[in-house]
Homo-oligomer: A and B are copies of this chain.
Amino acid sequence: MVRIVVDVKLKPEILDPQGRAVLGALGRLGLEGVADVRQGKQFILTLDGDVDDAILAQVDKIAESLLSNPVIEDYTVRVDR
């Protein structure tokens, strides 16, 4: 069993209200020195068999078209064995 991890985050120029809310809360909880907080999503795909380049290419396409919205988000794909 192999796991493919897709991380999706908002592009830096897009406002992240959840990150901002966390940032505000951190201050109230006494954690100083945090300049910025961004919240992202993570998808963990567990595959039955092994991963080859064809599958990775397919996952990459799905990450781009389904798991992220390229207008506002960036993504990365990595294999976690």
Contacts and interface: CB of A to CB of B under 8 A. Distances in A.
Interface of A: 1, 7, 9, 19, 22, 25-26, 29-31, 33-49, 55, 58-59, 62, 65-67
Contacts of A40: 41-44
A58 B30 contact: yes
A46 B36 contact: yes
A31 B62 contact: yes
Contacts of A65: 29
Contacts of A26: 45, 62, 66
A15 B28 CA distance: 32
B43 A42 contact: no
Nearest to A59: B31
